[in-house]
Amino acid sequence: MAANENVVKNAHMVSKGYISAWADKRNVVDVLDLQEGRGYPSSYLSATVVNYVYDPNFLTRNLEQDYSLIESAGIPALVKLRKDEPLSEAEANAVIAFLDMHLDRGRYADRTKVRAPAVALRTDGRIEHTELALGDALLLSQSFQDVLRLTALGLEQWPWQVREATSLATGDGAVLLWRATDGAPITTISFPLSPTQLLVIGEDLPDNIPLNPLLAQNSKRWIVGVRGSLDFSKAAIIAAKRSQE
């Protein structure tokens, strides 16, 4: 089956409207590509771009269009949080959907080149051998019961706060899930809103938590920071270490 014709060539793996908060006056951010093992300055408009990354090979739903709708509602609500403005119930739900999308993208951020063999059963009974691309994997995962969905946690009823911070980075692993102990229920969600603002949903976090190292550990491919804040040499070090694991 042919992929959807309305695909996006230059698809962002971390939303450009979100990472614009890290850009300088020339629209430039620092980027670490942990998969390619390199760091570089880039316009936020072209940072974390992978051509046709969400184009399914077999399924036909337009995943990039789904993401675009979530971004269109979520990013204005994130801007309101940055301005310390209250959110409506609909805006809070838009933020939760955005965080869920960000988390979902991050799970597969290092699998853009992976093709998985699959056997598909057509509605007419025909069996077809095919390969699943990243877009297919993301679409299929939305039906998996064991995949965490933030939209199912009732976050709109949890306490929300925006904390001041210093020199926060972001990336595909920016949605951090906090538990009291391993295996315990999630009590807190944190997410950088900007280099100086951290969204905390749920129980408060202790001061002086090393957020950037935790974010780097949680990110599969992309880390973004303000210009001059990232050590480009670390991309190659992290990539080499992960290739040996």
Residues 6+ apart with CB under 8 A from 192: 165, 168, 169, 170, 174, 198, 199, 211, 215
Beta strands in 69-205 (DSSP E): 116-121, 127-132, 160-164, 170-171, 176-179, 186-194, 197-202
The helix or strand, by DSSP H or E, that contains position 215, with its residue range, turns out to be helix 211-218
Residue 175: exposure state from Cβ atoms within 10 A (0-12, 13-18, ≥19): buried
- How confident is the prediction along the chain (245 residues), in pLDDT tens digits per residue? 333 444 455 678 899 999 999 999 999 999 999 999 999 999 999 999 886 656 665 556 677 788 899 999 999 999 999 999 999 999 999 999 999 999 988 888 777 665 665 555 566 666 766 666 666 666 666 766 667 889 999 999 999 999 999 999 999 999 999 998 888 999 999 999 999 999 999 999 999 899 999 999 999 999 999 999 999 999 999 999 888 87
Q: Is the dihedral of CA 142, 188, 177, 222 positive or negative?
A: positive
Q: Would you tell me the crossing angle of helices 63-82 and 134-141 to the nearest 10 degrees?
A: 70
Q: How far apart are CA 150 and CA 166, in angstroms?
A: 26
Q: Are 108 and 140 in contact (CB under 8 A)?
A: no
pLDDT score recorded for residue 14: 96
Identify the CA nearest to 175 among candidates 82, 102, 95. Answer: 102
